[in-house]
Each structure stands twice: as C-alpha cells, then as structure tokens.
Structure 1
Amino acid sequence: MTGIANAADLSSATKSLDDAVTNGEKAIEDAVGPKLDVDLYGSARVGFDYIEAGVSQDGLNGRDFLSRIGVKAKYQLNDRFSVFGQFEYGTRSDVVDFVQNGGLTLRIASVGVGHKDYGTLSFGSQTTVFHSFVRGSYFSDGLDTVRLATIREDDYLQYRFKYGNFKFGIGTQLEGQDGDNFDQVQVGAEYSIGPVKLQAAYAKDLEGPLQGNLYGVRAFWKINDIFTLSAYHHQQDDEFDFPSGAGSTGTLRLRASGGGLGNINFIPTCVGEDRTASGIYGSARVKEHQFHARYAVDSCDTSGDVQSIKGEYVYHYDKNLRFWTSVEHLENDAGRVPTALVGITDNFTSFQGGLRLDF
C-alpha cells in the first residue's frame, strides 16, 4: 500500500510541476507582450507539356506550373487584434518556362490587421475576392482554362469576414493616378450547409468610359468520401474591359521557337462582346488515387465558342507531395481561332505531366 501511495504522490507532484511550468510560460508571454509568428513556405511545381496544334512547332516543352516561395508573418497584439503581412514570389520570369538567370516575379505583397470576431482588412498585391469565391483552380497545375477575370491585382484593398458557415468579402482597387480613385469593386459570399457549398461574386468595372459588370456563381456537392461534383458560371457584359481585354488567365499556350508563331494563346479574348464561361466538374478519389474531369465552354456572343474537355489523374503521396498527368482538348469556332492559326487548325490538345512538392 505504501508503494501505491508513493506512486500517487509522485503523479500528483508531476502534475503540479506541469501546471507550474504552463503557468510560468503564460506569465512570461503576458510579460513579454505581443507574439510574432513567421512562416517560410514554398511550392515546387515542375513538369512538361506536349502541345498538338497541327503545326510543325508542335512538341514537348519543360514547364514551371506556378512554383513559388514566400514568407508570412503574424504579430499577435493581444487576444483579439493582430497585424499580418505576406510576401510571395514566383520562380519564373516567363509566362511558361523557367529561365536561367531570370529574376523572381512578385505574386503577393500585402499587410493587414485582423480581429478575432470581426475579420481582416488588408492592402497590397493580393488575391482578389472574385477569384477566391468563384474561380479557384480545380486542377494540379493551377492554370485552369475557361475562367473570366484574374487571380491577383495590385493596390487592392479588401475586407474578409467569417461567421460559422458563412464567408463574405469585399475589395476595391486603387491603382494609378488616372482620375479614377477606385478602378473596380468586387464582392463575394459563400455559404456551406452539410455537403453543399454555394458561392457567388460580383465585380464592377469603374475605370474609363466603359464600366461593365461581371457575375460569377459556383457550387460544390461532396456526395461522399469518394465523389465530388461542382459547376460554375461566369458572365460579363460587353462593357466590362477591366483589366485590359477582360480576358481569362491560365489558358493553353503554344510556345513556338520558330516559324514566326511565337507564344500563341489558344483561347482568344473577345473585347466588346458579351462573354460567358461555364463548366461542370467531377472528382473521384480513393485513398491516394484521384481522377477528375471538367467540361467547359467559353462563349462570345458574336465570335463564337471554345469548348474544353480536361481529365487528370493525380497520385497523392501525402498532403505535401503529388504527381499528376492530364490531357485537355479544345475545339474552337471559326471566330475564336488564334489569328496565327486561321486556316491551319481549329482544335488543340495538351498533354501534361508534373510533380508538386509543398513545403
């Protein structure tokens, strides 16, 4: 019985010591005051693509699929307020390739203030509200085609708020002393209920004589642990021309080295026309194996359509490492064929393979 009593006394003493250490650490933190957390991160996304466009320049090309490196810092002022900042740079100085001796390219440079209950307010070069809510990527390369608007903007001021299953964001751009204090305004919202997530966003062009509108909606349905479905629709009117051309990012490109073709965008814009981008998506994942696909149409009311079918297989080694291979095929109406390829071909195929390592 004495041994049992001693064991109990030892356990109690150990607990008391742990409590004392914890209380001591908290007392030190309270005495020191604000706490600074710094996080260095990166993502290496390297691979290749093979473009088949019916020209002699078709071939294999090494690719950088939006690799980046960055740093985040958060300064916790007290139990409610914090100040944060972020810098992120892409590792390519070219629209497609790595380039020897090429410089880093800015992706994000922002600072902001946050409140535990009332959200965050940030300013700088950062991801837009419209992208965050209705145009995020489905595929591993992060360069999904058939989307309207852009990923990031400079001089962008935004407020984000989350309450339970509801998210809200509003942003505006103050770029250039051109007589327009506010170049655009964007708002977005998201609501989740069980396996369903609903998203909507709106952008108003406030720059120049043409000041159009852009709308977007998207939905996700996680059927079970294996299957997920999604659909989206983006629509802009003929006066929406911000940024210049009001085009989509992440398009398929032929990086021709000769023959006068240059860098060809397979999904031309249609400035001055009503334009929509709509798609349906499905994913099946069993453990580390995932197959997902999307059918989408980029439609201009006068120039015509571009149809896209893309499928991708992903092997998820773990949450930080994945390998993928994909194929995407485009069918272009006559009015949407790139100028350099008119009379040569009206369909294009991209085969892709890559590795993504997040750290």
Structure 2
Amino acid sequence: MKKKLIAMVVSAAAVIPAAAMADVDVYGRVHVSTDFLDDGADYSEVNISSNSSRLGFKGNHQINPDLKAFFQIEQEINFTNSNGDNFSTRDTFVGLSGNFGAVQLGRFDSPFKVARGPANLFGDQVGDMRNLTRAGQARFDERYDNTFQYTTPNFSGFNAKLAYSVHEDSVAASDHKTDSVSLSLNYAGGPFEASLAYEQVSEEATRGERDGIRLAAAYKLTSAAKLVGFYQTLDYTGLAGTSDAVQEQNTSDVYGLGAELKVAANTAIKAMWMARAVDADDRDSDMLAVGVEHKLDKAVRVYANYALVNNDDNIALTPWGQARTATPPGTNGETASALSVGLRYDF
C-alpha cells in the first residue's frame, strides 16, 4: 500500500508541473562579443563583453473568449564576468488583454524607449544609437519601475501606448512629486514603419525635470533594401536651482540616417550616421557605424562592426557605452573607435 501511495505521489508531482507550465515559454539570449576599444588617447585594449544577455519566462492564460491574462519575468545575465550583480530585472510585468487592448503593470521599457525600434540597426552592439540618445542627465531610454501601461488595439496598422510611472524609490520620504508620463503613436503597414513618442519626467531626486520628443521611421525600398531615419529633441530643466549652464549641457537634438542591404539570403550589411547637437558650446558629437551580419540559422547570428564617435573639446562619448559590460570611459575631445566581432544565440 505504501509503495502504491509513493508511486501515486511521484506521478502526480511529475504531472502537476507539466500542467502548470503548459502555457509558459522559456526564452533567452546569449550575446557576447570580442571588441578592440580605443578612446583616442591612452586606452587601447581588447575586451570581451556580454551585451544585454537575458533569460526569461512568459505565458498567458485564457480566462474567457474575451479576456486573457499574461505575464513576463525577464532577467539580464552577465556571461563574461562576476563584477557586480549577475542578475538584474529587465521587462517584468503582468496584465490583461482583450478587445479593449491591453493593460500591464510592472517594470518595463517606456513607450519612448521602444519608439526607437524602427531605426535601431545596431541595438546592443557597438554603434548602438543610445550612445548618443542616452547621453547626459536628460536621457530617456529607460526601463521604469512601478509602471502602468495601456496599449490600444490595432487600428489599420496604428496603435498607441500610454504609460504612467511612479518613481517611489528615487525620492526622499518627504517628497513624492516624482513621476513620469510616456506615450507613443506607432504604425506598421506595407513597407513603412514609424513611431512618434513623447515623455515627461517631473522633478526627482537624481536627475530632475525633463521632457523629450522622438521620431523613428523605416522604409523598405525593396525586399532587400531598407532606409531608416531618426530624430530626437530633449529639454532639460533639472533640479531646483540647476544653473543655466548645466541645463544647456543636457538640452540636445539627436538625428541620423541609416540603411540596411541584404547581399545574400542570410547576410546583410548596414550603416548609420548620427549626430548630437547640444545647446552648450563644444559639446557636440557624431557617430558612424558600419557592420555586416550573417544568420547561421533562425537562432544564431554572427556579426562584425566598426564604429566611431567624434567628440568636441568638452565631451567624451564612445560608441560602446550602452547595453554592454565592457564600458571603459572616453576622453574629452578625442575620437573613440571600436571594432567588434559578436555572436548572438536566441532561444
């Protein structure tokens, strides 16, 4: 009798997790690269970098024909070293969707951040546009905590996103003014894709008040050729008492053009030029990135990129500062360059 009972318990334990996981997917990305980084002055070294590698779980549950629950839990994983935290929370949320659209709560990319997507040819690689768009205290490419977001249904290729975030962890107990509003209008249809976004952050403890507008677009000239364009303008007010000089150093326009061309079924070459124009004198930068990418199959791709940032005398941006573990600083007034060979495996 005891043997039969033990066998039943073991069988049930084996079945229950399978049933519970029926609508749950495990996914991830391993993205590493070997890079030669040169700041144009004293630093010139080979690095190995983990580039937004991640592990996630996502799933959904059909409550009734008109309502579905969904969730996602995603963690960034450092594949190259043990410096700092090996895990950090990426887009993690729970929500409901139906004919009304979708609502979700948690920590995830703002609509403003996601809106760069149509023009993002070098995401998580050297030459990533965030090296210019996310510079300074006025940056908006953020994943906010404590966020509520509503996404409309799709209307003939159009949809909109509206997110509201309460930054509870970034202010003193006596000050709860801090919050942000981020919204975007998005379109995808035929050869054209575009996003227009706005974000505003009220005064908060670390960086202060700021707002921005972003436009990104892509157009497929043919099945093999695509053009992209990008524009962003940011206005920085800062904390109470922030000087005019600091406001000018963080108020900027960023714009750029790029192209991608398939030269074979699984191989593409791409290039993008971007510029950052700052209100303050001698703080402008421009970036050029070129690369070739080959997909070994649907899951694995390899690439080689070269990127450089040319800086004015009072700024030290690099083409490698974002979404990577290898991030040595740049040098004011110098041209920072990077040669990168990478492997990305999605599962």
Aligned residue type for 1:169: K
Q: Name which structure has the greater RCO, CA cutoff 8 Å, separation 6+.
A: 2
**Distance across 2 between alignment mates of 1:274 and 1:56:** 30
Tell me the CA shift for residue 73 of structure 1.
1.8
- Assess if the C-alpha contact under 8 Å between 1:205 and 1:240 holds in 2: no
Aligned to 1:165: 157
Tell me the CA shift for residue 123 of structure 1.
0.8
The farther-off stretch of 223-232 and 302-311 is 302-311
**Distance across 1 between alignment mates of 2:168 and 2:266:** 47
Tell me the CA shift for residue 194 of structure 1.
2.8
Aligned residue among 317, 322, 335 for 1:347: 335
Compared CA separation, residues 337 and 46, structure 1 to 2 (3 A): closer
Structure 1, unpaired ranges of 5+ = 1-33, 242-268
Alignment map for 1:255-334 (pairs within 5 Å): 273-285=250-262, 286-303=264-281, 304-334=283-313
What TM-score do you get using the length of structure 1 for normalisation? 0.75
What TM-score do you get using the length of structure 2 for normalisation? 0.77
Tell me the CA shift for residue 202 of structure 1.
0.3
Tell me, what secondary structure is at the counterpart of 1:54? coil
- Assess if the C-alpha contact under 8 Å between 1:128 and 1:153 holds in 2: yes
Tell me, what secondary structure is at the counterpart of 1:167? strand
**Distance across 2 between alignment mates of 1:184 and 1:233:** 21
- Assess if the C-alpha contact under 8 Å between 1:140 and 1:324 holds in 2: no
Tell me, what secondary structure is at the counterpart of 1:319? coil
Tell me, what secondary structure is at the counterpart of 1:341? coil
Tell me the CA shift for residue 35 of structure 1.
10
Aligned to 1:66: 52
Tell me the CA shift for residue 348 of structure 1.
0.8
- Assess if the C-alpha contact under 8 Å between 1:86 and 1:110 holds in 2: yes
Aligned residue type for 1:300: V
**Distance across 2 between alignment mates of 1:75 and 1:282:** 40
RMSD of aligned alpha carbons: 2.7
Tell me the CA shift for residue 283 of structure 1.
0.3
Tell me the CA shift for residue 112 of structure 1.
0.9
Aligned residue type for 2:296: Y
Aligned to 1:194: 190
Aligned residue pairs, count: 294
Tell me the CA shift for residue 293 of structure 1.
0.6
**Distance across 2 between alignment mates of 1:46 and 1:347:** 24
**Distance across 2 between alignment mates of 1:214 and 1:223:** 30
The farther-off stretch of 292-301 and 207-216 is 207-216
**Distance across 1 between alignment mates of 2:52 and 2:292:** 19
Structure 2, unpaired ranges of 5+ = 1-19, 135-139, 240-245, 318-328
Aligned to 1:239: 237
- Assess if the C-alpha contact under 8 Å between 1:165 and 1:191 holds in 2: yes
Larger Rg: 1
Q: Give per-residue Cα distances to partners, 1:26-73, cap 9 Å, x unaligned.
A: xxxxxxxx9961000011101111111234431101110111001002
**Distance across 2 between alignment mates of 1:157 and 1:349:** 39
> Does residue 356 in structure 1 map to residue 344 in structure 2?
yes
- Assess if the C-alpha contact under 8 Å between 1:204 and 1:214 holds in 2: yes
